[in-house]
Structure 1
Amino acid sequence: MIAIGLLIIFTFFAGLMFLRKIPALLALPAMAILIALLAELPIPDILNQIIAQGSLKLTSVYVSVFMGAMMGRVLIQTGIAEEIIKRAAEFGGEKPLIVSFGLMAVTIILFTTLQGLGAIITVGSLVLPIMMSLGIPRKLAGTLFILAFATGFIFNPILFTLYRQLLGLSETEALPAQVSTFAFILLGLMLIMVVSYALIAAKRSGEMLLMSAVSKDDLLKRDKNKQVPTLALLTPIVPLVLFFGFNYFGLKLDFIAAFILGSLYGVCTTNWRNAIKTLTSSAIKGIEDGAPAAILMMGIGMLLNALNLPLIKTALEPLILSLPFQSTLFYIAFFGLLSPLALYRGPLNIFGIGIGLFTIMFGTAVLPPLALLAAIMCVVQVQNVCDPTNTHSVWIANFVGVQVEDFTKETLLPMMLVCLVGLVISVLMFL
């Protein structure tokens, strides 16, 4: 009976999110409360265990989000992000695809640390007009930007901090090196797919027509008062070098510390005299940028606590254990062919309903932890690129003047292929 009730709750809210009647920010806490009521948890316990304790469960994740958003604001306010983008565009000359590849490479690097809709708007407002001014069709420019964003996001701290939580690592434990290794493999698969897609799509588009009245030279004009030293352009990779460098040698360095050091490096290599002012305003605006993700993480924490209630776990564990995950073919088919279930905050979406399924799967040890985590990493790529409920996809679609579902139609099959190949590699590494 509880299993049927859970299915009704999941289906109802998935339908509401699909129809865009309710955002995930509200849907997840509502689901958590209904699941707790289904488990016959008293109202005081719902308030304390589910709402209060659940909202604090992923504290380290959303503090990392705030610190990352702060560093993103440092990159924007100091002009570092704009300078990197403009140098990449100049390097490509007047060849549309060369410029696009350069801009995508920069976008990938930037979004290893940048996060939030504010960062998408800032970078997209620079990158997309340059692409379109050279004749890249609007839909193709938007698609390439989304693909580049999702490629960089493989290494974004919001994911790695969440992975630590899913693996149940203590504060002193370093992230297993295999996770970073698989992330780099996934990066390689994404790069191959992005380049292949861009070449095929450009050929399919035929002659590229001028899509903007603004010339590339006008877009690349520089403010002489905002000269950015070359050394400062390394700022986006500072947190990554620190994080992966420390973890490679078995030492734990939290992304929070890495972002603080990266922010300090950025302000000190640009205008150190205004460092305090820049850091203060970046911290305030960073909290604003990171607020939606933080609220989402609170809802995820509530849902996690609700799904870990004894009655709920007792009802779901037999269903999960009955599935033949020990079969490599089933593992690949389940996470690969069903990866579209990550769309619309569905049952394979780690930022939606799927967080409950994955938590129970980790708890039942139905798969080796790293094999399950690798599957999640593959499915996350499908979600980041193809899900039309993503705020970044909605903004990009509005900016370039296409329907957000057009991006899903263009990218779903290529991203499913990336997911399937990643799962095959995961089988060789972890199963």
Structure 2
Amino acid sequence: MSGPLLLLVFALFAALMFARAVPAIIAVPAMAVAVAALVGAPLPVILNDVVAAGAVKLAPAYVAVFAGAMLGRVMIQTRIAEEIIKRAAEYGGDRPMIVAAALMAVTAILFTSLTGLGAIIMVGSLVLPIMMSLGIPRKLAAVFFLMAFATGFVFNIALWRLYREILQIAPDAPLPPEVARFALGLCAITAAAVAIYAFIAARRAPELRFWAVTTKEEILARTEGKRRVPLVAFLTPFVPLVLYVGFGWRELPAFFAGALFGVLLTEPRAAVRTLSASAVRGVEDGAPAAILMIGIGMLLNALTLPAVKEALAPLVAAIPLRSPAAYVLFFGLLSPLALYRGPLNPFGVGIGVYSIMFATGALPPLALLAAIMSVVQVQNVCDPTNTQNVWVANYVGVRVEEITRATLPTMIIVCLIGLVLGAAMFL
């Protein structure tokens, strides 16, 4: 009987997060304690094994988030990111869709390394006004930005660290090459979908209007008279990715190498001051994600308690996920459940669902990873509870739900095609 009761606990906390009555950073650890208590775990087990041990279970993941956020701050303080965006806008001239395509490509590249709301605000504050000043409608500019963000975020190695810790995919070894191959395929699928969406949207866009308060020229003039960033410094966001994927470096040294590369090429005399300030600001930027990961670690430990696994195993086994067709249809058609911190959102209630699937062996770890990465593409672009969605919607002056309605069909298709690729590779 405890299996259905556990599902009711998940449903209760999902409803609380959906209604925004309880934030995820509170709901997830509370769910962990509730799950452990429901199966009769003794108080010392709850306090020591679930709460204390769970709080540090994902330490490598949130350290990677802090390191990635530090690199982001380095790129902000040294003006590397600003210069990259400026060059993209300059070379696009006054052709709106050419400029938009260039800025989307740059945004995708930047978010392979950047992490946190601070990076979203910095990049968005430059990219969105340029798009809108060229007549791209407000909502379309917001959609372009979020889709570009999600395209690059497929390769964000701080996020990969979280996935590897949750699913125990070679956590102490170099990244398995098949994971990189799947990520490359998912990135290509997303990029193709974004390009098709942009082409169709451009054909349907109303007359060009100059919505923005600032014009493109005013945005570009911000750096006039300032020292130019060396072109080689534009490689900074690629450094961690190359070291991580190509040379098997761990996340922390890879991010540190990228930060050092950027600082030494732009502000060598102020390197210590810049790195120190960036480290402090990086901790601030990464704190919300790290706090959520502390709760996720607690929930992971709660769900691996023998009594919990025993109660949930029959329920999970009833879903024939090892069939490629069932795998694609289950995660693809239910991918909207990743919205509102729902049961397929790995940063909400979904962490419980995925953890149960992993703990009970419902799917091979790499197949489960492919499912999570595919579903996260829906969540990254469409979820109205995302901080990036809320900020972007407020910035351009549209309701956040409008972005969800405009992007959800496209991102479900991306998810389905990604799942087909995952099934072909891992099932």
Q: TM-score range by the shorter chain?
A: over 0.9
CA deviation profile, 1:137-181 (whole Å, cap 9, x unmatched): 000001110101111110112321022213424554222101000
Deviation at 1:8, TM superposition (A): 2.0
> Structure 2 CA distance, aligned partners of 1:304 and 1:363?
9
Match of 1:279 in 2: 275
Match of 1:229 in 2: 230
> Structure 2 CA distance, aligned partners of 1:420 and 1:320?
21
Aligned counterpart for 2:349 among listed residues 345, 350, 353: 353
Deviation at 1:303, TM superposition (A): 0.7
Match of 2:215 in 1: 215
1:6 has 2:2 as partner: no
1:369 has 2:365 as partner: yes
> Structure 1 CA distance, aligned partners of 2:328 and 2:36?
33
Match of 1:62 in 2: 62
Note closer, same or farther for the CA distance 1:213–1:396 as it changes in structure 2 (3 Å cut): closer
Aligned counterpart for 1:265 among listed residues 252, 261, 264: 261
Task: Give the 3-state SS of the residue equivalent to 1:113 in structure 2.
Answer: coil
> Structure 2 CA distance, aligned partners of 1:381 and 1:213?
31
Match of 1:29 in 2: 29
Which amino acid in 2 is paired with 1:276?
V
Task: Give the 3-state SS of the residue equivalent to 2:266 in structure 1.
Answer: coil
Moved more, 316-325 or 167-176: 167-176
> Structure 2 CA distance, aligned partners of 1:174 and 1:263?
21
Deviation at 1:287, TM superposition (A): 0.3
Deviation at 1:382, TM superposition (A): 0.8
Contact 1:35-1:307 at 8 Å conserved across structures: yes
When normalised by structure 2's length, the TM-score is 0.97
Which amino acid in 2 is paired with 1:227?
R
> Structure 1 CA distance, aligned partners of 2:201 and 2:320?
39
> Structure 2 CA distance, aligned partners of 1:167 and 1:15?
26
> Structure 1 CA distance, aligned partners of 2:155 and 2:76?
20
Contact 1:79-1:226 at 8 Å conserved across structures: no
Match of 1:134 in 2: 134
Match of 1:111 in 2: 111
Match of 1:239 in 2: 240
Which amino acid in 2 is paired with 1:416?
I
> Structure 1 CA distance, aligned partners of 2:224 and 2:253?
32
Q: How many residues align?
A: 426
Deviation at 1:350, TM superposition (A): 1.2
Deviation at 1:210, TM superposition (A): 1.4
Contact 2:78-2:263 at 8 Å conserved across structures: yes
Moved more, 29-38 or 354-363: 354-363
Matches within 5 A, 1:175-324: 175-221=175-221, 222-246=223-247, 252-324=248-320
Contact 2:309-2:359 at 8 Å conserved across structures: no
Moved more, 332-341 or 160-169: 160-169
Task: Give the 3-state SS of the residue equivalent to 2:63 in structure 1.
Answer: helix
> Structure 1 CA distance, aligned partners of 2:367 and 2:422?
6
Deviation at 1:37, TM superposition (A): 1.1
Deviation at 1:213, TM superposition (A): 4.2
Match of 1:414 in 2: 410
CA deviation profile, 1:255-278 (whole Å, cap 9, x unmatched): 111000000000000010000000
Contact 1:55-1:302 at 8 Å conserved across structures: yes
CA deviation profile, 1:297-352 (whole Å, cap 9, x unmatched): 00100111111111111111111112112322111110100111111111111111
> Structure 2 CA distance, aligned partners of 1:117 and 1:80?
18
Over aligned residues, Cα RMSD in angstroms? 1.2
Moved more, 328-337 or 275-284: 328-337
CA deviation profile, 1:356-396 (whole Å, cap 9, x unmatched): 22222223322222222111111111111111111110000
Match of 1:81 in 2: 81
> Structure 2 CA distance, aligned partners of 1:398 and 1:7?
35
- Identical-pair percentage: 58
Moved more, 168-177 or 47-56: 168-177
> Structure 2 CA distance, aligned partners of 1:258 and 1:351?
25
Deviation at 1:94, TM superposition (A): 0.2
Moved more, 52-61 or 356-365: 356-365
Structure 2 gaps, min length 5: none
Task: Give the 3-state SS of the residue equivalent to 1:226 in structure 2.
Answer: coil
- Structure 1 moving runs of 4+ over 3 Å: 169-172
CA deviation profile, 1:13-62 (whole Å, cap 9, x unmatched): 11111111121111101111111111212223222111111110000000
Moved more, 359-368 or 35-44: 359-368
Task: Give the 3-state SS of the residue equivalent to 1:220 in structure 2.
Answer: helix
Task: Give the 3-state SS of the residue equivalent to 2:40 in structure 1.
Answer: coil
CA deviation profile, 1:95-116 (whole Å, cap 9, x unmatched): 1111001100010000000011
> Structure 2 CA distance, aligned partners of 1:411 and 1:49?
41
Structure 1 gaps, min length 5: 247-251
Match of 1:152 in 2: 152
> Structure 2 CA distance, aligned partners of 1:374 and 1:8?
27
Moved more, 405-414 or 218-227: 218-227
When normalised by structure 1's length, the TM-score is 0.96
